[in-house]
Structure 1
Amino acid sequence: MKELLAFAMLVICIFTSVTAQPTHQIKGVVIDKSTRQPLEFINVLIIGTDRGSVTDSVGHFIIDDIPPGIYRLQASAIGYKTTITSEYILSTKNLNVDIEMEENSTELQGVTITASPFRRDLESPVGLRIIGVQEIEKSPGANRDISRVVQSYPGVAFSPAGYRNDLIVRGGSPSENRFYLDGVEIPNINHFSTQGASGGPVGIINADFIREVNFYTGAFPADRGNSLSSVLDFKLRDGDMERNSLKATLGASEVSLASNGHLGRKTSYLVSVRQSYLQFLFDMLGLPFLPTFTDAQFKLKTRFNERNELTVLGLTGINNMRLNTKLEGEKAEYILSYLPKIQQETFTLGAVYRHYADAHVQTAVISHSYLNNRNTKYLHNDESTEENLMLRLRSVEQETKLRLENSSTFGAWRVNLGFNLDYSQYTNTSLQRVYIQQANTFDYRTALGLLRWGIFGTMSYASPDEKFTASLGVRADANNYSSRMNKLSEQLSPRLSLSYRLIEGLYASGSAGLYYQLPPYTGLGFKNNDGELVNKQLRYMSVSQGSIGLSWRKSSTFELSAEGFYKEYDRIPYSIVDGIPLACKGNDYGVIGNEELTSTAQGRSYGIEVLLRWLIAKKLNLASSFTLFKSEYRKDKRSEYIASAWDNKYIFNLSGTYNFPHHWSFGMKVSCIGGAPYTPYDVEKSSLVNAWNAQGRPYYDYSKYNTGRLPAFGQIDVRVDKTFYIKRYMLGFYIDLQNVTKSTFKQPDILMSTGEIENPTAPQAQQRYKMKYIEQKSGTLMPTLGITFEY
């Protein structure tokens, strides 16, 4: 690895001495957001420079001789609200930007409204973070994976053990998040996702497609349902309508090829294919599992005219996780004893049609998602006989979704109304060994069809000077699974958001709402050996949450905010066998929810978040966050609260990237997280031969659930980027060093079977293995060299 890094630095130095910097144009059109008509005499400036232009009679502008980089544009004119765009990358060709401006119907004498890249949202004045291209491209330790990028934000925990992207927000479960691509819902954003939850070792979305991400940790929009903890709303780029280009990337875990361009005069496209070599990296690191993945993504956008457009997009992933059985030693022994082989295929295909009718915008979204998940596990990984079979799961989830909505603007008021209709199919063929008081085997088949429907609406108001904003929303959901779920009134979900500018730059904001989420299909479709659905009594999960915050913006480049939040959970599925809430599971590979459950558990999470952001265009992107919180669950309303699996108590992050001349950049991230609670092992149960052979791992003593606590953990990540621009070519290098401090994360020693029976003459049900303990610690320096080429 040292030789590889030295060679990379030599290549960089050689290129630095011989390359000259090209320049390009930034051009585009400015239109009225309602009428879709071009606007003339609009001032367009590049933020952080003295370069700009004015639109002509057909709304076009051109700014010449701009060096490559990441830029925002600002558009302003009398009678219109000043607009600041998302970040855009100017690389090997001219950049085309479409800017929409809103009319400012009331001009107030002496009132100045300052535009800012820290945009505010009427419906979500708290709990919303907008993530730009700079953070996605150059975030230290993230390797352009959005699940890792958001871990720098308040309320988002990370796993010190590494190798997984579980999204744990404000003390909630990894299963409580929802994801959207340009308005199309996708089931998950990670390869090798845990069925019934989320997570996985690497993201499935190509970062080259992302323009920005709206990350909601509260105050969820009414049209984004079925979430309790967070919503990640991805805004994708449009293809270039003037020139086709090609980009190749050699990243931390994969090689990708992407193309960007147009088909005719009305249709643009983005398309990419990625192939992983993650298995080689994991093999080199001596990990016991070897994941391989392939994914593809595309976006087609057709503008029929100024009032009608159609977007079609697709996302697919093929995953295969093999076991690295050639490894020897105790470090691999434990994981190889229980981790199944995993094969997954997933795809989402969706279309978004949008019609602009002056003050009204109609949107129709239709999509289909598919997940085929296969898990197989043999005792001692010996497949020579079916008697060793511990698990054979074959499961398919399919969702077909339709959403229609209309958004209207009436002066200072905005109204959004719509409904959704979904049909879900869940099939499962499972054979699984279990140990519940005695050895048993679940062998069942499920074919579940589920019709879901919902309505939603939001009414928002902003005073002419934007000093006061308010939003009142409601949605209701139901389905035909059971009589407990088929009434909209039972899942009525109101929400209210308010914001007020106390003094110039200082805002007080708050939000309160009740949100619902359907239990996982794995739980709804679980059957006993008699073929009966045993979880028909399940209900929608719910959370009542409120937050209040202060946000201070000293200028358009600096923001300091503090938010307090409180979440109260109800109707959480409770595991009958383990005696813990299902929400405390989901951060490991495999499946959760395929067990007997009851909707009796409750929970709460509360805390305070502080965020500082400092942006200097073309120079600095700095963010620091601190979260102090408590996350607890209980069996039912009569029981005492105990710490949840996600109760880390505090999270601290300091992350920044500084851009030097000649397209060098340096980034560093400091991360600290409090120790999570843990549960001691049940030695008596785990040592039983029948119990151990059922799952290949020790059992926890849930009577002592989360009575222990792990130590705190901290690490430092560093990243260096260098980019070369040679005429129409771009060649980029980056070196990402994760955990440069080589911090070690120590977990309780693992209880492990030696494979030797200590009482072989006893009856089978009483035989026990001799047990041993294996030291469990992780933490190593992980260097990554990335190469990007664009033409």
Structure 2
Amino acid sequence: MKKLFLFILLCTFAQQLLAQPITQVVRGTVTDGASKTPIPGASVLLLNPAPAVGTTTDGNGRFRLTQVPVGRVNLRLTLVGYEDLFLKDVVVNAGKEVVLDLQLIESITQLQEAVVTYRRSEDVTVTNNEMATVSARPFNPGETLKYAGSLGDPSRMAANFAGVSGANDARNDIVVRGNSPATLLWRLEGVNIPNPNHFGALGSSGGPVPMLNANLLAKSDFLTGAFPAEYGNALSSVFDLRLRQGNDEKKEHLVQVGFNGIELGAEGPYSKKSKASYLVNYRYSLFGLMANLGYKIAGTPYYQDFTFKTDVPVGAKGHVSFWTIGGRSNITFLGKDVSTDGDGYGDENNNIKVNFFTGMAALAYEHRFTNNTYGRLTFSGSRSYQQYNADTVLYNAGDGKEIIAEIPSEQSEFENEKLSVNASVNHKFSARDKIAGGVILDLSRFNLSNSQLYPVAQAFRNSEGKTTLAQAYVQWKHRFTEQLTLNTGLNGMHYELNNQTVLEPRLGLNYELNNRSSVSVAYGLHSNVQPILLSFYQTQNPDGTYDLSNKNLKFTRSHHFVGSYQRSLAPNLQLKTEIYYQAIFDAPVEKQPSYYSVLTEGADFAPIDKGNLVNNGTGRNYGLEVTLEKLFAHNYYFLITNSLFNSKYKGSDGQERNTPFNGKYVVNALAGKEIALGNRNNTLSLNWKITSAGGRYVRPIDLAASAEQRTTVYQDNRAYSENLSSYFRMDFKFGYKINRSRLTHEIALDLQNITNKENVYQRAYNPRTQRIGTAYQQGFLPIPFYRLTF
């Protein structure tokens, strides 16, 4: 009897232990949004689960909440003289502490309690950059893993935003408002960086696989027009990314398997007595690993990347950080391995071998001189390398695929290195006024070589040298009242290569109509240097000599005009509309009458092989964007974006044409639901996405001329008059999160293109079949995902 009683007692005790909720630590730092000064005495209140509990920030602006149940929690930060800050549905997992870096904005009107304004009522809707007035959206890295179809890729996730469309399923190029994706500026930790994608060709901004890791990113900004003065050398958009700091109190680890590869990560403090921390991650191609184990596929992509960041406090007012990102990638396509029924794109006629390397690093020191002034000095460097070799594959006549010759046809080797110095100072005069300024100096060295070997030998590039790009900016934010804010500034650039200097004014006004709605207008003049491969293209003269006929091309420039209206329809439901007009001028076009403009380039791996260009081209983009967003609350969210736009350009023939990026419309609809299961707050998530977009415009193919020359020949007089069929894709993702003591498992399956819609990729002439073939984009593809944090 005693044994039975003891057994029942042990079972009851074990049941009680299992019923104990799993908890985690939520902590962070609160600073002044303008001066970055730590704010002591701010109240931090955990609103759920009831009853509410709270704490206050210490002298260094730090706070800590312990025993916070896993799941989603809401926080409220308050301090007299500052606007309240609400953070809703912060995700708390068992396997990782929640460390927040929060900013409060000083209120102009000093009242008994903080004034809550429309714009600052939700942190998730506000950008890091206070100077951004319109066409700016915060990028929250957690959404890249949540949204269906995003694959943990920041670029693919950004394609869900209004005004943005992806170039194709195979690449993550970002097309903004009909502009070439090559005109996007990548910035990381305040440093202008090269293309951060595997297989990212020099002069492009995208690639098939991201080198940036969403697990390591902090809240960042994505800007699509009329951006602040600190951003120069960008014509269409800016992706301003930040790396998060490693946990400075506890060692944590990550194991992940997904589309982007197999990765291992670690972070933590160097010692228990130090606040210095590290963050490190290594990733290797999943397909490459499978190939090494014997499961090879045609065109196996091999790639790997490494990211490291360390943060070291220096005294009470200084901070040193160092970060580096590097990645290698290579792939081989052999024509004989391409499976085709005779109607597909003629890659079977080429062998292609490519190798890429991109590396970047930076050392930064930030110092708070006073409670209102801080500065930052950064030294950085980067290197991009690309090697390309191609063979032309010749077959016997007929329907067979008997190879009779593989002739080397093209070879390329591009190298670009850059050393940079960035210096900036920010000063807050008062709650009304903030001023910021800085300089950026880039010293670039390049070595460019590529030539065609067959059917006609021709050298396209054979140059090496160096040049500098110097930038300086100043910007001022003035708050006339709690409702009316002015953001203005001036950016200047000087490019040594062509001895050109430009000045770019920026202006933005935001007016809060009431505590639920606001209107904004902005203007900006923006300039973009020409791609280095374009500047050093060699034009062959009749006597066989070569000239660098593009070397002295000026900046491509554009005027941005944007108007915006935002309204909070409900506590978690927001409507935003924007109307814009972009006038582009000084775009390179050919001297002789031609359809060509540099505005049509940027969405593939090939360099621009055009010479004798002049800055006489123009373009215009205009449109309307509507975003309806239900922020995550009550266990569900949705995002609906609709973009109606028109994108036109003129070449040297004076005829206005569609750009190849003029899809006319893009509609995205995303929704998701989370269901809590069990007493450990395990979570089942269901996420859905649908995209519909207009077809791209292409150059029609001249079948007779193509058959005669045995390669694709286009009807240039009808350039971009043929419209491909519209694009449609539906994705569904479901996942399950399991919280256990001190660790979290996340399992998901991303079902991409579940209707198996055949979206056209491109059309080309196939000399073997003597027909125009159509290549289609990705069909139905299930992609598994697993992540363990502990």
Q: Could you tell me the TM-score, scaled by structure 1's length?
A: 0.88
1:211 counterpart SS class: coil
8 Å contact from structure 2 (residues 352, 388) kept in 1: yes
Q: How has the CA–CA distance of structure 1 residues 663 and 38 changed in structure 2, closer, same or farther, with 3 Å as cutoff?
A: same
Distance 1:497 1:315 in 2: 35
2:534 counterpart SS class: helix
The aligned counterpart of 1:218 is 225
8 Å contact from structure 1 (residues 88, 211) kept in 2: no
Aligned counterpart in structure 1 of residue 529 of structure 2, from 518, 522, 532: 518
The aligned counterpart of 2:77 is 75
- How many Å apart are 1:634 and its aligned residue? 0.5
Mapped pair 1:113 → 2:113: no
The aligned counterpart of 1:346 is 358
Mapped pair 1:413 → 2:420: no
Q: Which amino acid aligns with 1:397?
A: N
Q: Which amino acid aligns with 2:81?
A: G
Distance 1:387 1:664 in 2: 53
- How many Å apart are 1:85 and its aligned residue? 5.8
- How many Å apart are 1:470 and its aligned residue? 0.7
Aligned counterpart in structure 1 of residue 739 of structure 2, from 725, 743, 751: 725
- How many Å apart are 1:718 and its aligned residue? 0.5
Q: Which amino acid aligns with 1:104?
A: S
> How many percent identity over aligned positions?
22
Aligned counterpart in structure 2 of residue 274 of structure 1, from 279, 283, 307: 283
8 Å contact from structure 2 (residues 170, 778) kept in 1: no
Q: Which amino acid aligns with 1:148?
A: R
The aligned counterpart of 1:44 is 45
Q: How has the CA–CA distance of structure 1 residues 210 and 618 changed in structure 2, closer, same or farther, with 3 Å as cutoff?
A: farther
Distance 1:257 1:232 in 2: 26
- How many Å apart are 1:40 and its aligned residue? 2.0
The aligned counterpart of 1:446 is 463
Distance 2:48 2:132 in 1: 26
2:95 counterpart SS class: coil
Q: Which amino acid aligns with 2:631?
A: L
- How many Å apart are 1:30 and its aligned residue? 3.6
Distance 1:584 1:49 in 2: 57
- How many Å apart are 1:653 and its aligned residue? 0.3
Aligned counterpart in structure 2 of residue 563 of structure 1, from 558, 578, 585: 578
Distance 1:35 1:199 in 2: 33
- How many Å apart are 1:387 and its aligned residue? 8.8
User: CA offsets per residue over residues 344-386 of structure 1, 9 Å max, x none?
Assistant: 111011122211122111111221111011111111189x999
Distance 2:774 2:295 in 1: 18
2:209 counterpart SS class: coil
8 Å contact from structure 1 (residues 69, 90) kept in 2: yes
8 Å contact from structure 1 (residues 250, 786) kept in 2: yes
8 Å contact from structure 2 (residues 731, 751) kept in 1: yes
- How many Å apart are 1:339 and its aligned residue? 6.7
- How many Å apart are 1:618 and its aligned residue? 6.4
- Aligned pairs for 1:328-477 within 5 A: 328-329=339-340, 330=342, 334-338=346-350, 340-357=352-369, 358-380=371-393, 388-411=407-430, 412-433=432-453, 439-442=456-459, 444-465=461-482, 467-477=483-493
The aligned counterpart of 2:567 is 552
8 Å contact from structure 1 (residues 43, 77) kept in 2: no
8 Å contact from structure 1 (residues 455, 477) kept in 2: yes
User: CA offsets per residue over residues 445-473 of structure 1, 9 Å max, x none?
Assistant: 201211221211101112442x0111111
- How many Å apart are 1:751 and its aligned residue? 1.9
Q: Between Structure 1 and Structure 2, how many residues are aligned?
A: 741
Q: How has the CA–CA distance of structure 1 residues 698 and 192 changed in structure 2, closer, same or farther, with 3 Å as cutoff?
A: same
8 Å contact from structure 1 (residues 576, 598) kept in 2: yes
- How many Å apart are 1:659 and its aligned residue? 1.4
- How many Å apart are 1:179 and its aligned residue? 1.2
Distance 2:555 2:407 in 1: 38
The aligned counterpart of 2:315 is 305
Distance 1:576 1:50 in 2: 73
1:340 counterpart SS class: strand
Distance 1:81 1:48 in 2: 24
- How many Å apart are 1:93 and its aligned residue? 3.9
Q: How has the CA–CA distance of structure 1 residues 678 and 443 changed in structure 2, closer, same or farther, with 3 Å as cutoff?
A: closer
Aligned counterpart in structure 1 of residue 133 of structure 2, from 111, 114, 125: 125
8 Å contact from structure 2 (residues 249, 275) kept in 1: no
Q: How has the CA–CA distance of structure 1 residues 726 and 45 changed in structure 2, closer, same or farther, with 3 Å as cutoff?
A: closer
Distance 1:561 1:737 in 2: 30
- How many Å apart are 1:236 and its aligned residue? 1.9
Q: How has the CA–CA distance of structure 1 residues 774 and 129 changed in structure 2, closer, same or farther, with 3 Å as cutoff?
A: same
8 Å contact from structure 1 (residues 194, 586) kept in 2: no
8 Å contact from structure 1 (residues 347, 371) kept in 2: yes
After TM superposition, the structure 1 stretch with the greater mean CA deviation from structure 2, 572-581 or 737-746, is 572-581
Distance 1:642 1:333 in 2: 26
* RMSD of equivalent CA atoms: 2.9
The aligned counterpart of 2:239 is 232
The aligned counterpart of 1:680 is 700
Aligned counterpart in structure 1 of residue 654 of structure 2, from 631, 639, 643: 639
The aligned counterpart of 1:322 is 332
- How many Å apart are 1:748 and its aligned residue? 7.1
- Aligned pairs for 1:140-289 within 5 A: 140-159=148-167, 161-264=168-271, 265-278=274-287, 289=299
1:379 counterpart SS class: strand
Q: How has the CA–CA distance of structure 1 residues 72 and 169 changed in structure 2, closer, same or farther, with 3 Å as cutoff?
A: farther
Aligned counterpart in structure 2 of residue 586 of structure 1, from 589, 602, 606: 602
Aligned counterpart in structure 2 of residue 713 of structure 1, from 723, 727, 743: 727
The aligned counterpart of 2:65 is 63
User: CA offsets per residue over residues 446-501 of structure 1, 9 Å max, x none?
Assistant: 01211221211101112442x01111111111122124x2xx3xx11111001111
8 Å contact from structure 2 (residues 41, 79) kept in 1: no
The aligned counterpart of 1:92 is 95
User: CA offsets per residue over residues 626-685 of structure 1, 9 Å max, x none?
Assistant: 00000011114x713111100100000011221111311110001000111121113344
Distance 2:683 2:556 in 1: 49
8 Å contact from structure 2 (residues 394, 406) kept in 1: no
Aligned counterpart in structure 1 of residue 715 of structure 2, from 701, 705, 722: 701
Instruction: Point out where structure 1 has 5 or more consecutive residues left out of the alignment.
Output: 1-17, 755-769
Mapped pair 1:23 → 2:23: yes
- How many Å apart are 1:772 and its aligned residue? 2.2
8 Å contact from structure 1 (residues 25, 64) kept in 2: yes
Q: How has the CA–CA distance of structure 1 residues 555 and 46 changed in structure 2, closer, same or farther, with 3 Å as cutoff?
A: same
- How many Å apart are 1:390 and its aligned residue? 1.4
Distance 1:674 1:663 in 2: 37
After TM superposition, the structure 1 stretch with the greater mean CA deviation from structure 2, 47-56 or 504-513, is 47-56
The aligned counterpart of 2:556 is 541
Q: How has the CA–CA distance of structure 1 residues 588 and 60 changed in structure 2, closer, same or farther, with 3 Å as cutoff?
A: closer
Mapped pair 1:496 → 2:507: yes
2:337 counterpart SS class: coil
- How many Å apart are 1:717 and its aligned residue? 0.4
Q: Which amino acid aligns with 1:445?
A: N
